[in-house]
């Protein structure tokens, strides 16, 4: 079992990674966010906190998740050896449980009895509801009406776990709007409530905290790929919405300049305003929901609508550490459109017996284009951030609409 290695790469004292990050919050949240930062900095130095987290990651979450060589897919593509980091095999079916568990333990440590969360694809909501059930905490999850329609199974899963799912009908009725409502709730209920943010977004210390709770992915993957092949991967690919699964696996390899890091955003129906969620392809620097980062916005700074076949990638901003990695050229970012993601969803199922989450299917789709350009002795590691059970009904509807089912 790998212990999360905290305190390795902090932002500056104001929470900035280069030009990105910071803490942009209303006056009513200044003190609570400072309290959260102090509590987290204390917890990350506490061996008892780390030991409890480590124990639950092993006994409850089921870590370490395996690294699996996708031999049939690799052979069919005729290029690099493709390995999958199987976060889909973690309890609740995605990487989200790693962060939810860490923050749930922190909320309990701070004496909070109620947890507020937001969710897009529903996996963070399910993970948060799961952890709250485990720890005996009340749970309220905000979810956009559009995403509730796309992810009905996860809505019911949250309810079965005892959470209250609060429908959001404002704006585009997706993740950005759910975050807005969750933060409004937090402002109104500071005394007893903890806001459990699901990605490397928001005001400092959330980007740091979420990345560190997800860093277990990269620590395991580094050890596992060396055990399997005797060397580090040549390239690592992960999908990027807010970007927590990507930061989780990238983290252990940042100091290895020969390892290429590639984040894959949602190209939707094409890089046109309102048709995608590729912040590096169509965005610019700005502030959204507490942090300075790359944002999809118009010339007047108004946040643009986004679209993706994947609810979890359908968001107008990206984590500030990703923005820093992009500008410093330590990582590169590509995009995959809806059709390619749907094709990859089906192909991985047919060739490897694994149905990926539609989010993860974007990373698989990019790997399908990249692997043939690499040598057969090179290693391509893909973070399979979640399983596709939640998306099967949506995929069926889309394929029927396209006349493919």
Distance in angstroms (rounded) separating the CA atoms of residues 252 and 320: 18
Six-digit token string for 39: 């509590």
Strand locations in 216-259 (E): 235-239
Q: From the candidates 37, 118, 212, 265, give the one annotated as an active-site residue.
A: 118
Q: Which two tokens stand for residue 315?
A: 């968001």
Measured at the CA of 137, the angle between CA 135 and CA 143, to 5 degrees, comes to 115
CA atoms of 198 and 215, how far apart (whole Å)? 14
| C-alpha–C-alpha distance, residues 300 and 307, integer Å | 20
Query: 96 an active-site residue?
Result: yes
The set of long-range contacts for 349-355, using a CB threshold of 8 Å and a minimum separation of 24, is: 349/388, 351/70, 351/72, 351/73, 351/76, 352/70, 352/72, 352/73, 352/84, 354/84, 354/88, 354/384, 354/387, 355/387, 355/388, 355/389, 355/391, 355/392
Q: Which of 37, 74, 96, 308 is catalytic?
A: 96
Using alpha carbons, select from 300, 310, 389 the residue that is nearest to residue 349.
389
- Catalytic position from the list 193, 215, 385, 394: 385
For the question of residue 385 being annotated catalytic, the response is yes
Which uninterrupted H or E stretch holds 265? strand 260-268
Which residues belong to the active site?
96, 118, 385
């Amino acid at each position: 079992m790998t212990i999360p290695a905290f305190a390795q790469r902090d932002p500056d004292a104001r929470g900035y990674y280069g030009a990105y990050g910071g803490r942009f919050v209303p006056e009513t949240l200044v003190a609570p966010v400072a309290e959260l930062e102090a509590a987290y900095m204390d917890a990350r130095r506490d061996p008892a906190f780390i030991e409890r987290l480590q124990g639950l990651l092993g006994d409850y979450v089921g870590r370490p998740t395996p690294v699996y060589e996708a031999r049939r897919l690799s052979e069919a593509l005729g290029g690099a050896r493709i390995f999958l980091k199987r976060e889909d095999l973690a309890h609740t079916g995605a990487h989200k449980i790693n962060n939810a568990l860490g923050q749930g333990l922190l909320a309990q440590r701070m004496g909070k009895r109620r947890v507020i969360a937001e969710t897009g694809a529903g996996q963070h909501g399910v993970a948060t509801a799961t952890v709250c059930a485990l720890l005996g905490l009340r749970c309220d999850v905000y979810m956009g009406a559009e995403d509730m329609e796309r992810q009905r199974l996860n809505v019911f899963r949250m309810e079965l776990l005892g959470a209250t799912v609060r429908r959001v009908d404002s704006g585009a009725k997706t993740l950005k709007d759910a975050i807005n409502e969750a933060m409004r709730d937090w402002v109104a209920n500071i005394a007893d409530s903890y806001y459990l943010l699901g990605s490397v977004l928001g005001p400092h210390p959330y980007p740091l905290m979420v990345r560190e709770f997800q860093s277990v992915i990269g620590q395991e993957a580094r050890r596992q790929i060396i055990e399997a092949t005797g060397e580090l991967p040549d390239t690592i690919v992960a999908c990027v919405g807010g970007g927590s699964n990507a930061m989780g696996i990238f983290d252990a390899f940042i100091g290895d300049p020969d390892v290429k890091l590639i984040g894959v955003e949602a190209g939707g129906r094409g890089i046109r305003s309102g048709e995608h969620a590729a912040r590096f392809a169509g965005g610019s620097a700005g502030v959204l929901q507490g942090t300075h980062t790359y944002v999809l916005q118009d010339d007047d700074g108004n946040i643009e609508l986004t679209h993706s076949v994947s609810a979890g990638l359908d968001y107008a901003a990206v984590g500030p550490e990703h923005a820093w990695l992009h500008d410093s050229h330590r990582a590169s970012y590509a995009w995959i459109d809806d059709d390619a993601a749907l094709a990859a969803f089906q192909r991985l199922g047919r060739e490897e017996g694994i149905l990926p989450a539609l989010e993860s299917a974007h990373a698989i789709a990019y790997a399908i284009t990249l692997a043939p350009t690499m040598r057969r002795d090179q290693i391509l590691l893909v973070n399979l951030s979640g399983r596709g059970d939640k998306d099967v009904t949506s995929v069926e509807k889309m394929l029927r609409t396209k006349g493919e089912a």
